[in-house]
């Protein structure tokens, strides 16, 4: 069965520092890959997604992610974090061609705290 692992439950970075959030998935082929952000008390906002093609994906709010097939990873990065980036981040995958094609499998989430 597919699974998504976000190894870091909680990360603290200083404002202006770079950020990398890790995501690993378990799936035989290349799934569709997503990163979502959830600010406190808010819904989910899509940051970026990967379906095929260029393995470096640009998203909103200055985020990017790189798909590495050999490592089954889809890590999220940002060169300079802003205080407003403090939120919970979810990596998710879906399985193209499955009978439940619209299903997303989410990681456990990583909470980002930004120090002034």
- In angstroms, give the least distance from the CB of 90 to another protein: 6
Residue among 32 and 66 whose Cβ is closer to another protein: 32
Residue among 6 and 63 whose Cβ is closer to another protein: 6
Q: What is the DSSP string of 23-50?
A: -EEE-SS--EEEEEEE-TT---EEEEEE
Residue among 49 and 77 whose Cβ is closer to another protein: 49
- In angstroms, give the least distance from the CB of 77 to another protein: 20
Q: Tokens for 67, please give them.
A: 């798909």
* Residue 75 CA to its chain's centroid (Å): 6
Cα–Cα separations (whole angstroms), residue 51 to 13, 34, 48, 114: 30, 9, 10, 30
The contact set with another protein (CB under 8 A) reads: 4, 9, 32, 34, 42-44, 46, 49, 51-52, 90, 92, 94, 96, 100-104, 106-109
Residue among 26 and 101 whose Cβ is closer to another protein: 101
């Amino acid at each position: 069965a597919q699974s998504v692992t976000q190894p870091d439950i909680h990360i603290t970075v200083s404002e202006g520092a770079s950020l990398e959030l890790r995501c690993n998935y378990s799936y035989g082929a290349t799934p569709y890959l997503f990163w979502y952000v959830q600010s406190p008390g808010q819904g989910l906002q899509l940051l970026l997604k990967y379906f095929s093609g260029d393995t470096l994906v640009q998203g909103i709010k200055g985020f990017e992610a790189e798909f590495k097939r050999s490592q089954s990873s889809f890590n999220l990065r940002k060169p300079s974090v802003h205080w407003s980036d403090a939120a919970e981040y979810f990596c998710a995958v879906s399985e193209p061609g499955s009978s439940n094609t619209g299903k997303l499998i989410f990681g456990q989430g990583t909470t980002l705290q930004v120090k002034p």
